[in-house]
Amino acid sequence: MSDAEQNSLLQEWSDTGREVVAIAADRITTLEAERDTALAEVEKLKADPNRPFPLMVTRRSVNTDQRVTCPWWAAEIAYGGYTSDCGGSQSLQRISERGGFGNGEMDTFFPGWREKIDINLTLQAEVERLRAEVERSYPCPPTEREELKAEIQFMEEAAEAQKAEVEALRQQNEAIAKISWIDVGMVWTRENRLGPHMSLEKLHKLSKAIVKTLTVARGATDS
């Protein structure tokens, strides 16, 4: 094989290698995106209190309503009773990985759980029905809906800021009152040291001293 043929073959292999690397890189990017999407879905499910929690069928249970899942919030309530009796050596997540609670354990640790779950499901269905009815009765374009959400969020933030301002004013007034009455007491003691009976001139002098004390106290808290 001549040098030219060898160079041509090497170039062909090099080009093929670059194509393989590019294809692999694209595949890796796709897989990473799928992984991130799956992780986001997992986190979303973890935050959902209605996500299913596995249950084991209890053969000897007197209750014929044997269920294979329950909402996670119901399992959390049962877990509170479980930890009181059995300790917290196993997390709720670990219990779910091992098959969940038995129906009989749910009966023990969360009495009436079936009825409470059914009521909750009924209420959820009603909420969804009303939401759908509102959407049909008052159609709102997506952009307008987002604007309304932003406006609501702005109003909520403004309300929180207003509450914080009111609390700050309340604390300021408490500080003013505390400082003022201490200083007023000192003024009263100083001006009235000769006895409880004062002339009009002395009473006027005391009033001016009290007003001055209140003004200085308010200025101190404002600064």
pLDDT tens string, the chain, 223 residues long: the values are 677 777 777 777 777 877 888 888 888 888 888 888 877 776 766 678 889 999 998 776 566 778 999 999 999 999 999 998 888 899 999 999 999 999 989 999 999 999 999 998 888 888 888 877 777 776 666 677 677 777 777 777 877 777 777 667 666 656 655 555 555 555 555 555 544 455 555 655 666 666 666 566 556 555 5
Strand partners, 56: 102
Phi, psi of 106 (to 5 degrees): -60, -40
User: Rounded distance, CA 91 to CA 191, Å?
Assistant: 70
Query: Which residues neighbour 66 within 8 Å (Cβ) at sequence distance 6 or greater?
Result: 57, 58, 103
> According to the 3-state scheme, what is the secondary structure of the chain?
CCHHHHHHHHHHHHHHHHHHHHHHHHHHHHHHHHHHHHHHHHHHHHHCCCCEEEEECCCCCCCCCCCCEEEHHHHHHHHHHHHHHHCCCCCHHHHHHCCCEEHHHHHHHCCCHHHHHHHHHHHHHHHHHHHHHHHHHCCCCHHHHHHHHHHHHHHHHHHHHHHHHHHHHHHHHHHHHHHHHHHHHHHHHHHCCCCCCCCHHHHHHHHHHHHHHHHHHHHHHHC
Every domain of the chain and the residues it spans: 1-47, 52-139, 165-222
Output the pLDDT for position 97. Answer: 93
Output the pLDDT for position 152. Answer: 75
Residue of 176, 210, 175 lying closest to 191 (CA atoms): 210
Output the pLDDT for position 194. Answer: 46
User: Rounded distance, CA 115 to CA 112, Å?
Assistant: 6
Q: Count CB-CB contacts under 10 A for residue 75.
A: 26
Query: Which residues neighbour 179 within 8 Å (Cβ) at sequence distance 6 or greater?
Result: 217, 220, 221
Torsion of CA 145, 151, 154, 158, to 10 degrees: -140
Radius of gyration over alpha carbons of the chain, in Å? Answer: 37
Q: Which amino acid is at 153?
A: Q
Cβ atoms of 72 and 52 closer than 8 Å: yes
